[in-house]
Amino acid sequence: MKRILFLLSVIAVMLLPMAGVSAASSDFSERVSGMAEITAVRVNSGSDKIRIVVDASKPVRYTTMTLKNPDRVIVDIQGAWLSAKVKREIAVSSRFVNDIRIGQFNKNTVRLVVENKVGSSNYKIFPLTGGTVPGRVVLDFGNLSDSSKAVIAVPDVQQKPSTTGSSSVSTTKPTTPATSQTQESKPATKPAVKPSDSSSTSSIQTTKPATTPVKKPSSSSSTEDIDGPAKEAAGTATDTGKDSSKNTGSNAGNTPAITDDTDADIAALTGLKGRKITIDAGHGGNDSGAIGPTGVMEKSVTLRIANELRRLLVADGATVYMTRTTDTEVSPKGANASDIEELQARCDVANNTKSDIFISIHMDSFSSGAAKGTTGYYYSLGSQRSRDLADKVRQGVIDQIGTQSRGTQSCNFYVVKHTDMPATLVEVAFISNPQEEQLLNSEEGIEKAAQGIADGIADYFG
């Protein structure tokens, strides 16, 4: 009997720590319920700028401020908790940014600190929502006005030392080749050569907006309350509190407040609800477009990307017109149409529906399989808005699929010249490059390419 009692007491002692762990886990799950989980920090560095993307399990609200000596931009993401899998400090090699740190500033706020060299006028912060990542905060540092040519003037680093940091606090809102495009003049800088942009069904397909489900936050992660390095780098909690207290809103406690205009501003920033967008999947029908080393056809890749892009845009409230949704020509004459007739039929879809923007999707090709990367094109005599659209779509694709940037270039392609609205032709990647062909022949590659274009469109309307 004594032996049995002894064994029972040993078992009870062993179970006590497990009960404590279970209780702690339960408390943590309850604390983060309804909060956004910060799941990743992604960095894409180029010659003209560096982009930092913070991924969240749902749309988020945030405030920003700047501090001096050294120059830092701080983003406080409210109602959020930081996943244990996210690196707290990210080493970067960029002429625009020195260091990136992130931490759990308090129980309700995740703080991102970007030590930078661009001063107060050469960065931009904005949210993106929808798609495979429900919530994102995007930070761009560098040359934001002209990502293909201009060079940023980095501020003089000789400043008087300051003992107190900053200054400004703001509250933000959630979240080549020649183608048979009958190119009247080829861009001199583009090496690749490929067949034209003949494709799309003759009937205009309109898709009605739908709603996008929001992913629930996960409850498995770190339970830390304060991240020392991030807090120290950004300034003391007292300093931040003083600045943030200038804003008043519905949030209480330690979380900086948000204005009543936040929800409206989110919609305005995303800007997709009610927008009319024409998507043109390059080539189709008898025109295969370029063909990759293993036989993958450009017309198939562009159609898959276009259909996925349509799904994403409709989910965010846009009205989408497709030049084609199957493997066919656009012109009513079908395979008997001339190149001009086929390309004009494509332009007619956008012009007749009075679309807000026109996106033509292509894959690049070159005689050498070593050529690689993503290029954005706009009509050489077109508007600055077309250039902006081309630039943002190109950058969005690069952020998602990790291709090399070949810049934003002017062109004389038929479909961007003869459309009445801002228009871009994006060469997503080189189908002649074995690695990029493989990437864009995969479901993951298609989804990411479409998400990148959607991100660029959202950025453009922002």
Q: pTM of the prediction?
A: 0.56
Count Cα neighbours of 191 within 13 Å in the Cβ-side half-sphere: 12
Q: What is the DSSP letter of 336?
A: G
Distance (Å, whole) CA 460 – CA 274 = 15
Q: CB neighbours of 308 closer than 8 A, spacing ≥ 6? A: 446, 447, 449, 450
Distance (Å, whole) CA 160 – CA 445 = 49
Cα distances from 87 to residues 37, 42, 148, in angstroms, run: 14, 10, 31
Q: Which of 222, 199, 205 is nearest to 329 (CA)?
A: 199
Q: Which of 336, 337, 343, 332 is nearest to 283 (CA)?
A: 343
**Does the pLDDT at position 372 exceed 90?**
yes
Q: Furthest-apart CA pair in the chain: how many Å?
A: 98
Residue 437: band (very low, low, confident or very high) from pLDDT cuts 50, 70, 90? very high
Q: Which amino acid is at 83?
A: S
Distance (Å, whole) CA 440 – CA 324 = 19
**Does the pLDDT at position 417 exceed 90?**
yes
For residue range 93-110, list pLDDT tens digits in order: 888 998 999 999 888 899
Residue 461: band (very low, low, confident or very high) from pLDDT cuts 50, 70, 90? confident
110, β-bridge pairs: 77, 104
Q: Comparing 238-252, 322-336, 389-403, which segment has the lowest mean pLDDT? A: 238-252
Q: What is the mean pLDDT of residues 219-230?
A: 37
Distance (Å, whole) CA 363 – CA 374 = 9
The pLDDT, as a whole number, for residue 14 is 67
| Percent of the chain with pLDDT strictly greater than 70 | 66
The pLDDT, as a whole number, for residue 212 is 41
**Does the pLDDT at position 434 exceed 80?**
yes
Two structure tokens written together for 259:
């204005």
Which residue intervals of 251-317 are DSSP H helices?
Answer: 262-270, 298-315
**Does the pLDDT at position 338 exceed 90?**
yes
The pLDDT, as a whole number, for residue 400 is 93
> H/E element holding 234?
helix 228-234
Residue 379: band (very low, low, confident or very high) from pLDDT cuts 50, 70, 90? very high
Residue 25: band (very low, low, confident or very high) from pLDDT cuts 50, 70, 90? low
For residues 386 and 445, the answer to whether their CB atoms sit within 8 Å is: no
Q: What is the mean pLDDT of residues 402-412?
A: 94
Two structure tokens written together for 266:
């989110």
Per-residue burial over 147-166, b = 16 or more CB atoms within 10 Å of its CB, e = otherwise:
bbeeebeeeeeeeeeeeebb
The pLDDT, as a whole number, for residue 392 is 93
Q: What is the mean pLDDT of residues 292-314?
A: 95
